[in-house]
Amino acid sequence: MALQTTPASCAVSVVMPMYNAEKYLVESLDSVLMQTFQDFEVVLVNDCSTDNSREVAESCLKKFGGRLKIYDNVVNSKASGTRNRGLLLSRGEYIFFLDSDDLLMLNGLEKMYTLAKKYDADVVSLGGFYNINEKGTRIESISNRNDKIFEDRKGEIFVDEDLTWRLQKTLAYRFYGVPWLRLFRRNFLIENGIFFPENVSSCEDVVWKHGFLLLAKRIVHVKDILNFYRMSDDSLTRTKRNAVQYIHYRMNTIFYGIKWIEDIIDKSDFFKENPHYRYKVLGDFAADIFNRLLITAKKRNWKPAQVYELVRQEFGQDFGENDVLVAILSAMVNECQKTIEDDKAQIAELKKRLKDRRAS
C-alpha cells in the first residue's frame, strides 16, 4: 500500500478502535485526558457499535477541547480494519494504539515520547503490562517478558539496532504481539506499509508485529510497565467454537499470515543477504500458531488424526500436492510438545528429590 505521509499536527495520536465499549470507554478516555503529556489527539473510530458507545464518546468531546475526533465505519471492519483507518486518519508524529477498555498510566505518553525523541526511535517498546478485572481493580499477576528481552543486560532501557539479535530466538518467545505496548513513528508504519492484516481471523497482532520487528532500524526497549489490560467476559478470544470452526480459525492465520509476513520480508535487504532467516521466521510463525491449535485440541481431547483430517477437509484444496506438509508440521509440533512435557516431568522429579534431601 503506497501512501504519502502528511505533516504532523501534534506529537502523539492515540488511535482507539471502539465497538460496544460504553461500559469502559469514559475510564479509558480519561486515562488519556489526564496524561502528564498533553500534546496529543485521540482518533476514535466507531466500528458500527450497537450500544450507546457513540453517545458516550460524544459526551466526552467538550472536555478534550477539540483533541478528540470521532469517526464512524460504514461497515463493521473488526479491530484490524478499524486500527488501519485510525492510523490513516491520524496526524501525530507518533502513534499509540489503545483499546477502548484498557488504561494507560498517567506518565505513559510522556515516558514513551521522550525516549522516542531522545533516541530518534522508530518504536518504543514495553515488555509487560498489569492485568485488571472487569471492575478495573488491579490483579496481582503481571504479564511480563522483560526478563527475556533484558536477558544479560543492565539498566532500565536499551537501544536495539540489531535485527540478528531479535531473530536469535523466536519472535513469539521474546515479544508480545499486542500493539498497545508500543509507541510507533507514524511515517515508519505508513511508508513501510505496516498495516494490520484484515483477512486474518485470529492472532492478527502476532502477524502484524513482524512488520515493525523486522523493518525497524531502531527500537528502544523499556522495562517500565505503563499499561493496564482488561479482558472482558465477552472478549472475541473467548468465543466458543466447535472443532471445524476452531481449526479454520487457526489455519486461516497460518495461510494468510505467512503471505503477509513474506511481503514484509521482501522489503528488507537483510533477508536477501541472509535467506536462512526468512525460513526461520516463517517456520517459527507457523509452528507457533499450529501449536496453539494443538494445545486446544489436547484440552478438548481431539485426536491428532482427527485434527489432521479436519485440516484437510477445510483446506485440502489449497494444499495441492503439498498437503503432506500438514502431517509433517503436526508431527514436528507434537514431538516438541512431548519433549517439553518430558522436561517438565524431569524437573518436577528433581525438585522433589532436592526437597526430600533437604528434609532429611
Domain spans of the chain? 10-234, 243-345
Q: What is the pLDDT along the chain (360 residues), one digit of tens a residue?
A: 446 567 789 999 999 999 999 999 999 999 999 999 999 999 999 999 999 999 999 999 999 999 999 999 999 999 999 999 999 999 999 999 999 999 999 999 999 999 999 999 999 999 999 998 877 666 667 899 998 999 889 999 999 999 999 998 878 788 999 999 999 999 999 999 999 999 998 899 999 999 999 999 999 999 999 999 987 655 444 556 777 777 777 888 988 999 999 999 999 999 999 999 998 999 899 888 888 887 887 788 877 677 777 776 666 665 555 555 555 565 555 666 566 677 777 888 888 888 888 877
Predicted confidence (pLDDT) per residue in 13-44, tens digit? 999 999 999 999 999 999 999 999 999 999 99
Contact 181, 222 (CB under 8 A): no
Q: How far apart are CA 332 and CA 126, in angstroms?
A: 32
Other beta carbons within 10 angstroms of residue 64's beta carbon come to: 16
Contact 233, 181 (CB under 8 A): no
- Based on the number of CB atoms within 10 Å of its own CB, is 55 exposed (0-12), middle (13-18) or buried (19 or more)? exposed
Cell representation of residue 316:
485440502
Predicted confidence (pLDDT) per residue in 218-242, tens digit? 999 999 999 999 876 554 445 567 7
| Candidates 3.90.950.20, 3.40.50.800, 3.90.550.10, 3.30.365.10; CATH matching 10-234 | 3.90.550.10
Q: Is the dihedral of CA 193, 199, 205, 211 positive or negative?
A: negative
